[in-house]
Structure 1
Amino acid sequence: MLYPIFEYFDQVLDIPGTGVFRYISFRAGMAALVSLIITITFGKNIINWIRNKQIGETVRDLGLEGQNEKKGTPTMGGLMIMAGIIIPTLLFANINNIYIILLLITTVWLGGIGFLDDYIKVFRKNKEGLAGRFKIIGQIVIGIVVGATLYFHEGVVVREFTNPVSIEQGMVETPAFKDVKTMKTTIPFMKDNELNYEKIFGFLGDSATPIFYILIVIFIVTAVSNGANITDGIDGLAAGTSAIIGLTIAIFAYISGNAIFSQYLNVFFIPNSGELVIFCAAFVGACVGFLWYNSYPAQVFMGDTGSLMLGGVIAVLSFALRKELLIPVLCGIFVIENASVIIQVSYFKYTKKKYGEGRRVFLMSPLHHHYQKKNIHEAKIVTRFWILGILLAIITLATLKLR
Structure 2
Amino acid sequence: MLYEIFLPLADDYSLFNVFRYITFRSGGAVLTALLISFIFGPKIIRWLKDKQGEGQPIRDDGPESHLLTKKGTPTMGGALILLALSVSTLLWANLSNPFIWIILLVTIGFGLIGFGDDYLKLTQRNTKGLPGKAKLLAQVLISVLAATGTMAVSPPEMGTHLAIPFFKELMLNLGLFYVPFAVFVMVGASNAVNLTDGLDGLATVPVMIAGACFGLISYLVGNTIFAEYLQISYVPGTGELTVFCGALVGACLGFLWFNAPPAMVFMGDTGSLSMGGALGTIAVITKHEIVLSIIGGLFVLETVSVIVQVASYKTTGKRVFRMAPLHHHFEKKGWAEPTVVIRFWIISMILALIGLATLKLR
TM-score range, shorter chain: over 0.9
Helix, strand or coil at the partner of 2:335: coil
Q: Which moved more, 1:231-240 or 1:141-150?
A: 141-150
Q: For residue 298 of structure 1, report the CA deviation from its aligned partner.
A: 0.4
Give a deviation string over 1:286-306, Cα, whole Å, max 9, x none. 111111010100000000000
CA contact (8 A) 1:118 1:304 kept: yes
The answer to whether 1:343 aligns with 2:320 is no
Match of 1:6 in 2: 6
Match of 1:50 in 2: 48
The answer to whether 1:311 aligns with 2:270 is no
Match of 2:92 in 1: 92
- Determine which structure has more spread, i.e. the larger CA radius of gyration: 1
Match of 2:102 in 1: 102
Q: Which moved more, 1:40-49 or 1:302-311?
A: 40-49
Q: For residue 126 of structure 1, report the CA deviation from its aligned partner.
A: 4.2
Match of 1:242 in 2: 207
Q: Among the aligned pairs, what percent are the same residue?
A: 43
Q: For residue 34 of structure 1, report the CA deviation from its aligned partner.
A: 0.5
Q: For residue 400 of structure 1, report the CA deviation from its aligned partner.
A: 1.3
Q: For residue 92 of structure 1, report the CA deviation from its aligned partner.
A: 0.4
Q: Which residue, out of 172, 181, 194, partners 1:196?
A: 172
Higher helix proportion (structure 1 or 2): 2
Match of 1:15 in 2: 13
Give a deviation string over 1:334-362, Cα, whole Å, max 9, x none. 111000011011101111xxxxxx21110
**Which amino acid is the alignment partner of residue 80 of structure 2?**
M
Q: For residue 125 of structure 1, report the CA deviation from its aligned partner.
A: 2.8
Length-normalised TM-score, structure 2 = 0.96
CA contact (8 A) 1:121 1:128 kept: yes
Q: For residue 332 of structure 1, report the CA deviation from its aligned partner.
A: 0.6
Helix, strand or coil at the partner of 2:213: helix
Q: For residue 41 of structure 1, report the CA deviation from its aligned partner.
A: 2.2
Helix, strand or coil at the partner of 2:31: helix
Give a deviation string over 1:307-346, Cα, whole Å, max 9, x none. 0111111000001100012122111111110000110111
Q: Distance in 2 between matches of 1:216 and 1:385?
A: 28
Match of 2:22 in 1: 24
Q: For residue 67 of structure 1, report the CA deviation from its aligned partner.
A: 3.7
The answer to whether 1:59 aligns with 2:36 is no
TM-align CA RMSD: 1.4
Q: Distance in 2 between matches of 1:33 and 1:77?
A: 19
Match of 2:290 in 1: 325
Q: Which moved more, 1:288-297 or 1:255-264?
A: 255-264
Q: For residue 280 of structure 1, report the CA deviation from its aligned partner.
A: 0.2
Match of 2:325 in 1: 366
CA contact (8 A) 1:344 1:361 kept: yes
CA contact (8 A) 2:37 2:255 kept: yes
The answer to whether 1:229 aligns with 2:194 is yes
Q: For residue 19 of structure 1, report the CA deviation from its aligned partner.
A: 1.4
CA contact (8 A) 1:184 1:194 kept: no
CA contact (8 A) 1:9 1:18 kept: yes
CA contact (8 A) 1:239 1:287 kept: yes
User: How many residues are paired up?
Assistant: 360
Q: Distance in 2 between matches of 1:63 and 1:5?
A: 52
Structure 1 pair 194/292, CA: closer, same or farther in 2 (3 Å)?
same
Q: Distance in 1 between matches of 2:280 and 2:203?
A: 15
Helix, strand or coil at the partner of 2:124: coil
Aligned 1:263-282 pairs, distance under 5 A: 263-282=228-247
Q: Distance in 2 between matches of 1:313 and 1:40?
A: 22
The answer to whether 1:292 aligns with 2:251 is no
Match of 1:118 in 2: 118
Q: Distance in 1 between matches of 2:66 and 2:309?
A: 24
CA contact (8 A) 1:64 1:373 kept: no
Q: For residue 66 of structure 1, report the CA deviation from its aligned partner.
A: 4.5
Q: Distance in 2 between matches of 1:313 and 1:114?
A: 13
Q: For residue 181 of structure 1, report the CA deviation from its aligned partner.
A: 5.5
CA contact (8 A) 1:59 1:68 kept: no
CA contact (8 A) 1:73 1:300 kept: yes
Q: For residue 65 of structure 1, report the CA deviation from its aligned partner.
A: 2.6
Q: Distance in 2 between matches of 1:3 and 1:124?
A: 45
Helix, strand or coil at the partner of 2:203: helix
Where structure 1 has 5 or more consecutive residues not aligned to the other structure, the ranges are: 159-179, 199-208, 352-357
**Which amino acid is the alignment partner of residue 118 of structure 1?**
D
Match of 1:161 in 2: none
**Which amino acid is the alignment partner of residue 245 of structure 1?**
A
Helix, strand or coil at the partner of 1:237: coil
Q: Distance in 1 between matches of 2:126 and 2:64?
A: 22
Q: Distance in 2 between matches of 1:379 and 1:123?
A: 30
Give a deviation string over 1:239-272, Cα, whole Å, max 9, x none. 1110010001011011112121111111122211
Match of 2:78 in 1: 78
Q: For residue 64 of structure 1, report the CA deviation from its aligned partner.
A: 3.1
Q: Distance in 2 between matches of 1:60 and 1:125?
A: 11
Q: Which residue, out of 147, 156, 162, partners 1:185?
A: 162
Q: Which residue, out of 335, 342, 349, partners 1:376?
A: 335
CA contact (8 A) 1:64 1:372 kept: no
Q: For residue 182 of structure 1, report the CA deviation from its aligned partner.
A: 4.4
Length-normalised TM-score, structure 1 = 0.87
